[in-house]
Amino acid sequence: MLKKLVKVLLVISLLVFFIPVAKDMTIKNRIKSVIKNNNVNSEYSGFIYIPKFDYKNLIKEGDESLDKNLVLLTNFSNNIGSNKIILAGHNNKYVFSKIYNLDLGDEIVISDFYVDYNYKVKERRIIKVDDFSYFNEDGLYLITCTNNNQERFVIKAKREY
C-alpha cells in the first residue's frame, strides 16, 4: 500500500514539474524559431531582447487584450523604429516579471527583424493606470501591471545612436 502511494505521489510530482517546464520550452522554442528565421511576414512586428536576463520575446501589434505570453506594441506607437515605442506585457514569468530588476543604464534591444535598435534604461516609475501624460517624450516604454490595480510599473529607455 505504501509503495503504491509513493508511486502515485512520484508520478503526480513529476507531472506537476514537467508540464510547466514543457510549456516554457514550447514558448521559448517558438520565439527562437521566429527570430532565427527572421519571419518578417508573420503576425509579429519584431522582438525584444534584454541582455541582462538573456530575455527574448516576440512583439505583436494591436490593441486587443494582452496575450499572456507576448509583448504587445500598443496603439500609441506607430511601429518599431519610430521615435516613441510603448510595449505592454503581463507581469508573469513569460513576459515582463523581470523588468522590475532593470537598473539605470541597462540595455534593451528592440528589433523589427531587419534592424536592431539599442536603448538604455533612463527611468523607472510607477504611474496611475489612467496617467498617459508620462508617455509625452520620445523613447521606449515598457509597461506592466503591479499588485495595485490602479497603478502600472513603467521602464523608460532612450535610444542609443
56 touches 31 (CB < 8 A): yes
Residue 149 located in a structural domain: yes
CA–CA separation, 161 and 152 (whole Å):
28
Residue 155: per-residue pLDDT:
96
Please count the other Cβ atoms lying within 10 Å of the Cβ belonging to residue 124. Answer: 15
**pTM here?**
0.74
Instruction: Extract the C-alpha cell encoding 16.
Output: 506537476
- Per-residue confidence (pLDDT) for residue 56, from 0 to 100: 87
Going by their DSSP bridges, the two strands 139-145 and 84-88 should be labelled as parallel
Give how far the C-alpha of residue 130 lies from the chain's centroid of Cα atoms, to the nearest Å: 21
Residue 69 lies in a domain: yes
Looking at the structure of the chain, the number of domains it has is 1
Question: Quick check: is 150 in a domain?
Answer: yes
**Which residues in the chain show pLDDT less than 50?**
14, 21
Residue 41 DSSP SS3: coil
CATH number (domain holding residue 144): 2.40.260.10
Residue 18 domain-assigned (yes or no): no
Q: What are the cell numbers at 107?
A: 540595455
Do the domain assignments include residue 63? yes
Flag whether 102 is in a domain.
yes
The answer to whether residue 9 is domain-embedded is no
Three-class SS of residue 106?
coil
The pLDDT mean for the chain works out to 78
133 within domain boundaries: yes
In terms of residue numbers, what domain contains 44? Answer: 40-160
